[in-house]
Amino acid sequence: MRTYDNPVIGGFHPDPSVCRVGEDYYLVCSSFEYFPGVPLFHSRDLVHWRQIGNVLDRPGQLDLPDDTPASGGIYAPTLRHHDGRFYLITTDVRGKGTFLVTADRPEGPSSDPVLVDVPGIDPDLAWDEDGNCWCAVAGVTVARIDPATGKVLEGPLPIWSGTGLQHPEAPHLYRVGDWWYLMIAEGGTAHGHSVSIARARSPRGPYEPAPTNPILSHRSTDLPIQSTGHADLVTAPDGTWWMVLLGTRPRGWFPGFHVLGRETFLTPVEWVDGWPRVGPVQEQHQAPSTWHPFQLPPVRDDFDAPTLAFSWISPRSRPDDSWSLTRRPGWLTLDARFGPAFFGRRQQHLDCRAAVRIDPGSGRAGLSVRMDEAHHYDIEVAGGVVSVVLRIGPVRERIAERAVEPGPLTLAVDISTADVGTRGPDTLTFSVEAPEGAVELAELDGRYLSTQVAGGFTGRVIGMYVTEGEAAFDWFDYQEALR
């Protein structure tokens, strides 16, 4: 029996939404304060996913102001395919509000945003048999809209707000047979997270709740996957049903710490007496009948390509004058003349290693493990000295230093869950390559780079930065560390 491992998309990839077109699946996630926004993935079997773009990849679509807070920005997109076009609807919580974009091809380019005047977040799109487009939002209300203009034609109408738990959100409408099903998340996105469902004969309601609600929750269990919720349903070509959802993998001493943010998990769904039934989300499940693995692109980037890889993200914006792939061919050059520059990728494995070859020149630059501006660990080089610097809330401290020769050098961080005992979830060890080999400079407790300490909705991002002058990076290498 072939099985797959959860999560199917590791690291900070929350609020998954999925649609199928023929034998192809496409999935998007929330991106919050990072640019480009809304990572887009493709799969042929729901298990193996390759990032093929970012839906909001130009400033005209996503213009996050400098005062956008950590975990602000883009919330909970929904991706749908209707009449040959792809539709993505989402909310910029500090900017333009709810909007949608469309594209002829999944990888885009997608259109300029069309504003949709509905209050709330977590918008959904569904079409009825008459071609009417319905938009549901957290709360839960539904409105009939014109997707071409964003105009509200009817509503918003209150329909069903769950079983009484806090934060009814993440609504998705589905037409299955003669019924309309409304699936929501409730209980908050922490340990109380859950999935509930109701049905009606019309999108307008009235809705009848499932007798077994919530249909999924891991709250008050000792299961290794927690905070299960914010789900979306999809059917496979063989008629089987599947659910993608977010979850976390807390580790360490009470209350447990999760550091990768909320990740994307996959679980099978059965229909019993007209209702979907979902078992506990396990670390391993029997795989879908279609098994279509593919070779993922290397996670090492030598910056030889003419464009950046899709996985690179930056807080809020990426001004053209802050980076270059041509100023020094084969290197990524970052420039801090107009403010600090950071290019990172999500940490996707509990145990991993990231290393970078850097020529700092006369600048100040390095490698950072980041939750937000107030929670990050850095190893940086400036003025012939390599330093390890930690930032935890209002505290910023330089805890280790070593003199180095001028010119390029290699900085690294090793993240391990081994032998943490009753400490935090993992240990971060920072090192620099010296003539005698790798020299460890500091070993830090990972709990301070966790959601439980930093708060918010994101996870760790590991990347290169420059805060003074200009620096060049020859390569960046990220690898899972097998235990």
Establish if 42 belongs to a structural domain: yes
My answer on whether 219 and 119 are in the same domain is yes
Q: Could you give the count of Cα atoms lying within 13 Å of 61 in the half-sphere of its Cβ?
A: 21
Establish if 109 belongs to a structural domain: yes
My answer on whether 115 and 251 are in the same domain is yes
Establish if 301 belongs to a structural domain: no
CA–CA separation, 91 vs 98, rounded Å?
Answer: 4
Contacts of 205 (CB under 8 A, 6+ apart): 157, 159, 160
Q: Which CATH number do you get for residue 30? A: 2.115.10.20
For residue range 273-320, what is the model confidence (pLDDT) as tens digits? 999 999 899 999 999 988 888 777 778 999 999 999 999 999 999 999
pLDDT at 51: 97
My answer on whether 223 and 155 are in the same domain is yes
My answer on whether 150 and 78 are in the same domain is yes
Task: Examine the residue annotation and report whether 169 is marked as an active-site residue of this protein.
Answer: yes
Strands (E), 188-239: 194-200, 208-209, 216-217, 226-235
**Residue-wise over 77-96: b if at least 16 C-beta within 10 A, else e?**
bbbbbeeeebbbbbbbbbbe
Burial class of residue 328, CB neighbours in 10 A (0-12, 13-18, 19+): middle
Q: Which residues of the chain have pLDDT under 70?
A: 421-422, 483
My answer on whether 255 and 319 are in the same domain is no
Q: Could you give the count of Cα atoms lying within 13 Å of 328 in the half-sphere of its Cβ?
A: 16
CA–CA separation, 237 vs 258, rounded Å?
Answer: 35
pLDDT at 422: 61
My answer on whether 280 and 380 are in the same domain is no
My answer on whether 341 and 465 are in the same domain is yes
CA–CA separation, 136 vs 157, rounded Å?
Answer: 9
Establish if 19 belongs to a structural domain: yes
Domain housing 347: 314-480
Last residue of a domain, one of 286, 301, 333: 286
pLDDT at 483: 65
Establish if 296 belongs to a structural domain: no
Establish if 420 belongs to a structural domain: yes
Q: Which of 15, 57, 122, 301 is catalytic?
A: 15
Establish if 292 belongs to a structural domain: no
Q: Which of 33, 57, 92, 169 is catalytic?
A: 169
Q: Which CATH number do you get for residue 442? A: 2.60.120.200
Establish if 307 belongs to a structural domain: no
For residue range 187-242, what is the model confidence (pLDDT) as tens digits? 999 999 999 999 999 999 999 999 999 999 999 999 999 999 999 999 999 999 99
My answer on whether 359 and 277 are in the same domain is no
CA–CA separation, 457 vs 14, rounded Å?
Answer: 8
Structural domain count of the chain: 2
My answer on whether 105 and 205 are in the same domain is yes
My answer on whether 273 and 323 are in the same domain is no
My answer on whether 131 and 182 are in the same domain is yes
pTM over 0.95: yes
